[in-house]
Amino acid sequence: MEQSEITIAGDTPGVEWRLPVLHFRGDTKTAPKVYLQAALHANELPGTAVLHFLCDRLRKAEAEGALAGDVTIVPQANPIGAAQAHFGEMQGRFDLASRTNFNRDFPLVTLAERDALLADLDRETAVKRLKRRLLHMALGAELVLDLHCDDESIQYAYIDEAFWPEAADLASCLSMAAVFLSDGESTAFEEAVGHAFKHRGEGKLAKVPGRLAVTVELRGRRDVHPDTAKADADGLFRFLAGRGVVRASEPHAPAFTGPAVPLDNIDMVRALEPGTVLFHKDIGDTVEAGEMLATIITRPGLDDGLYEMRAERSGLVATRTSDRFVRRGDDLMKIVCKDRIRLDRAPGTLED
Distance (Å, whole) CA 295 – CA 223: 25
For Zn ion, the closer of residues 41 and 132 by Cβ is 41
For Zn ion, the closer of residues 295 and 349 by Cβ is 349
Closest separation in Å from C-beta 174 to Zn ion: 16
Q: For 60-114, give the DSSP string.
A: HHHHTT-B-S-EEEESS--HHHHT-EETTEE--SEETTTTEETTS------GGGG
Identify whether the C-beta of residue 71 lies closer than 8 Å to the C-beta of residue 34.
Answer: yes
Identify whether the C-beta of residue 65 lies closer than 8 Å to the C-beta of residue 125.
Answer: no
If one asks whether residue 132 binds Zn ion (CB under 5 A), the answer comes out as no
If one asks whether residue 221 binds Zn ion (CB under 5 A), the answer comes out as no
For Zn ion, the closer of residues 236 and 297 by Cβ is 236
Interface of this chain with Zn ion, residues 151 to 170, rule: CB under 5 A: none
Closest separation in Å from C-beta 94 to Zn ion: 11
Alpha helices (runs of H) in 119-184, residue ranges in sequence order: 126-138, 168-173
Closest separation in Å from C-beta 155 to Zn ion: 14
Distance (Å, whole) CA 308 – CA 237: 45
* Residues 133-152 as x/- pattern, contact with Zn ion by CB under 5 A: ---------------x----
Bond from prior residue into 165 cis (ω within 30 degrees of 0): yes
Instruction: Name 72's bridge partners.
Output: 23, 35
For Zn ion, the closer of residues 104 and 200 by Cβ is 104
Interface of this chain with Zn ion, residues 77 to 116, rule: CB under 5 A: none
Give the residue among 156, 129, 125 at the shortest CA–CA distance from 256. Answer: 156
For Zn ion, the closer of residues 253 and 263 by Cβ is 263
Looking at this protein, which amino acid is placed at residue 159? I
Instruction: Name 143's bridge partners.
Output: 34, 212
* Residues 253-292 as x/- pattern, contact with Zn ion by CB under 5 A: ----------------------------------------
Specify the stretch interacting with Zn ion by CB under 5 A; choose among 42-50, 218-226, 253-261, 288-296: 42-50
If one asks whether residue 41 binds Zn ion (CB under 5 A), the answer comes out as yes
Neighbours of 51 (CB within 10 A): 25
**Residue 169 in 3-state DSSP?**
helix
Number of residues that bind Zn ion (CB under 5 A): 3
Closest separation in Å from C-beta 311 to Zn ion: 26
Closest separation in Å from C-beta 287 to Zn ion: 25
If one asks whether residue 334 binds Zn ion (CB under 5 A), the answer comes out as no
- Binding interface with Zn ion (CB under 5 A): 41, 44, 148
